[in-house]
Amino acid sequence: MKSLSILLIDDDAIERMKFKQVCKNNNFKCHIIEAENGKVALQCLNSRINFFDIIISDLQMPKMDGLELLKTVRLNGNYKNIPIIIMSNAQDDSLLKECYKYGVSGYFTKPSSFTKYEKKVKALLEYWKKNELIS
């Protein structure tokens, strides 16, 4: 299987480290570019020659949150078809509904246990690696 090119957005460096550790533990071939908020993520998107296969973003971040990033990306013709997964600690159903309103590809809450987190991220990556939209 091909290597996934992932834009990983989270203001918490430990969360980004956990995600990369799951990739390493499970031998996923991933090229991960990190951003600490939506504004930095947009700079990454705009400066990238090759598109990302998937965007994985936290919801609650300073400067530009995940929902605002989602809205902005979906309005951009160059990026609107990139799958966007929101992962968050937020339990607000209205935020989840807003995410789906603006075309999120998936949403999951971050478990507190690393084992449960690893299972969720592993399932997410296995799905997107096999998804026919990623060539």
Answer whether residue 71 is part of any domain: yes
pLDDT score, position 79? 85
β-pair type (54-57, 106-109): unpaired
Q: What is the pLDDT along the chain (135 residues), one digit of tens a residue?
A: 567 889 999 999 999 999 999 999 998 888 999 999 999 999 999 887 567 889 999 999 999 998 999 999 998 878 888 899 999 887 777 888 888 899 999 988 888 899 999 999 999 888 887 775 544
Q: Which SS3 state, helix, strand or coil, does residue 86 take?
A: strand
CATH number, domain of 37, equals: 3.40.50.2300
Residue 135 lies in a domain: no
For residue 125, being part of any structural domain is answered with yes
What is the number of structural domains in the chain?
A: 1
Confidence (pLDDT) at 49: 58
Provide the domain limits for residue 57.
Answer: 4-130
Q: Is residue 55 part of a domain?
A: yes
Cβ atoms within 10 Å, residue 63: 11
* Predicted pLDDT of residue 133: 53
